[in-house]
């Protein structure tokens, strides 16, 4: 029987209409790759480029993966909130809940050989790149099983083998670093790209434009992604930027404005950007005007939102209204969007999805318990990893006569 209702967020067509709606005859959704076509919530807006189509190809497996990944990320961030309030996490803790669609949509368009680099709101990107819950929670709590063995903390998660280069605390610094990764990919002739993420606050940084200029000049396979959650800490975008059309800020660099709460739109945009960045072949016979427009670099603006404040020290409600926050949660929540899509296409029941979420709650609790068991780093770790090649260096502790060590 054809579907008797239409999803409110999109018109969709099944290529193979289901004849019997019954869970026993449905394909197991975790492996079903039957194509499904979905329209993004809003069309893309292009700057100096033809935007991709708003019709996205997906399949049940992907939709379920999106749901699961985002639900896990959401649970992890909520749990981190509690841990911070319980004083098990110290220092800075910048939470990503609300923005999950950017992380999962991007992962769907990339491989682990592509590189991602971001700023300090990095827990979910880390998870998307192959990080585990235990590595996350242990790092947040400063324990030795953390991804940086407890020496980095919330802002310094890395997973080099998954193509994740951090985790950076200085606003904007990650953009030149990301262009450097792209430089190295081109130099090494790897057919891969780098996605350098930054926020609407960092979008005003000078070094971003310096790096963008060089990336465009040298045809680096770099994609700059502005995760525009509309607030740079407590400063709304209209108070910080003369031109908050961040996707246009690249001037000669093509840009795309994307609904960052729609994981499928994010995936489409990232796929588009990656293909654009890898386009080879010199362009002959171009006029000076064309030269400006032929750049491999792409600038994506993800229109997204964070439910939490800038960090755990920021309630997030002094510079925005609670109505605004709950409004976005109701209208645009990324997980709810995918849930509705899954239900509309009868790919799972509500109970099955709720069970998945319950399962994740358990996984998160277990990971936290294991992380709590993980010991703090050994005192000798104070002096490790300062250099790769220690060279007979004497390193001193606070009291030079008491604590000093000779690096090998």
Partner 1 sequence: MSGIVRNKISAFSVQSLQRVGPYALSLRGYSSGAKEMTVRDALNSALDEEMSADPKVFLMGEEVGEYQGAYKVSKGLLEKYGPDRVIDTPVTEAGFAGIGVGAAFYGLKPIVEFMTFNFSMQAIDHIINSAAKSNYMSAGQISVPIVFRGPNGAAAGVAAQHSQCYAAWYGSCPGLKVLAPYLADDARGLLKAVIRDPDPVVFLENELLYSESFPVSSEVLDSSFCLRIGKAKIEKEGTDVTITAYSKMVGHALKAAETLSKEGINAEVINLHSIRPLDRQTINASVRKTNRLVTVEEGFPQHGVGAEICASIVEQSFNYLDAPAERIAGADVPMPYAANLERMALPQVEDIVRATKRACYRSEPRAATA
Q: Give residues in contact with partner 1 (CB under 8 A).
A: 115, 117, 148-152, 156, 158-160, 165-170, 173, 175-185, 187-188, 206-207, 209-211, 213-214, 217-218, 384-389, 391-395, 400-401
- Of 284 and 388, nearer to partner 1 (C-beta) is 388
In DSSP terms, which residues pair with 181 in a beta bridge?
none
- Of 183 and 305, nearer to partner 1 (C-beta) is 183
Residue 378 zone, left/alpha/beta (φ > 0; ψ -120 to 50; rest)? beta
- Of 16 and 401, nearer to partner 1 (C-beta) is 401
Q: Are 71 and 356 in contact (CB under 8 A)?
A: yes
How far, in Å, CA of 273 to CA of 280, rounded?
14
CA dihedral 80, 82, 88, 89 (to 10 degrees): 40
Q: How far is the CB of 31 from partner 1 (least distance, A)?
A: 34
- Of 323 and 399, nearer to partner 1 (C-beta) is 399
Q: How far is the CB of 159 from partner 1 (least distance, A)?
A: 8
Q: How far is the CB of 148 from partner 1 (least distance, A)?
A: 5
Q: How far is the CB of 164 from partner 1 (least distance, A)?
A: 10
Q: How far is the CB of 197 from partner 1 (least distance, A)?
A: 14
- Of 105 and 142, nearer to partner 1 (C-beta) is 142
- Of 147 and 325, nearer to partner 1 (C-beta) is 147
Q: Are 186 and 219 in contact (CB under 8 A)?
A: yes
- Of 212 and 265, nearer to partner 1 (C-beta) is 212
Q: Are 212 and 132 in contact (CB under 8 A)?
A: no
- Of 219 and 359, nearer to partner 1 (C-beta) is 219
Q: How far is the CB of 406 from partner 1 (least distance, A)?
A: 10
Q: How far is the CB of 391 from partner 1 (least distance, A)?
A: 4
Q: How far is the CB of 282 from partner 1 (least distance, A)?
A: 15
How far, in Å, CA of 368 to CA of 79, rounded?
9
């Amino acid at each position: 029987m054809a579907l008797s209702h239409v999803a409110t967020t999109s018109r969709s067509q099944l290529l193979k209409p289901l004849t019997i709606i019954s869970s026993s005859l449905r394909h197991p959704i975790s492996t079903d790759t039957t194509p499904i076509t979905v329209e993004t919530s809003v069309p893309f807006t292009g700057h100096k480029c033809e935007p991709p189509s708003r019709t996205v190809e997906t399949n049940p497996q992907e939709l379920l993966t999106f749901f699961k990944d985002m639900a896990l990320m959401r649970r992890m961030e909520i749990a981190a909130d509690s841990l911070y309030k319980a004083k098990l996490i110290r220092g800075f803790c910048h939470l990503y809940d609300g923005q999950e669609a950017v992380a999962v949509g991007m992962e769907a368009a990339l491989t682990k050989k592509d590189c991602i680099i971001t700023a300090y709101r990095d827990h979910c990107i880390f998870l998307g790149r192959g990080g585990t819950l235990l590595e996350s929670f242990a790092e947040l709590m400063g324990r030795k099983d953390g991804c940086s063995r407890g020496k980095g903390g919330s802002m310094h998660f890395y997973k080099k083998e998954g193509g994740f280069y951090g985790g950076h605390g200085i606003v904007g610094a990650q953009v030149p670093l990301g262009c450097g990764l792209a430089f190295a990919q081109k130099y090494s002739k790897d057919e891969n790209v780098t996605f350098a993420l930054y926020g609407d606050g960092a979008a005003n940084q000078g070094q971003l434009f310096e790096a963008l200029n060089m990336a465009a000049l040298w045809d680096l396979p770099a994609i700059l992604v502005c995760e525009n959650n509309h607030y740079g800490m407590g400063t709304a975008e209209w108070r910080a930027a003369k031109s908050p059309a961040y996707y246009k800020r690249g001037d000669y660099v093509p840009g795309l404005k994307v609904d960052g709460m729609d994981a499928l739109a994010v995936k489409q945009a990232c796929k588009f950007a990656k293909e654009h960045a890898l386009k080879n072949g010199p362009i002959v016979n171009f006029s000076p005007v064309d030269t400006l427009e032929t750049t491999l670099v792409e600038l994506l603006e993800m229109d997204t939102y964070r439910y939490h404040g800038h960090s755990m020290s920021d309630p997030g409600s002094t510079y925005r209204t609670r109505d605004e926050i709950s409004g976005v949660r109701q209208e645009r929540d990324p997980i709810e969007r995918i849930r509705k899509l899954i239900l509309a296409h009868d790919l799972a029941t509500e109970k099955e999805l709720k069970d998945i979420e319950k399962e994740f709650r358990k996984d998160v609790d277990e990971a936290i318990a294991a992380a709590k068991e993980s010991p703090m780093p050994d005192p000798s770790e104070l002096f490790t990893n300062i250099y790769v090649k220690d060279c007979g260096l004497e390193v001193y502790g606070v009291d030079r006569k008491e604590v000093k060590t000779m690096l090998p």
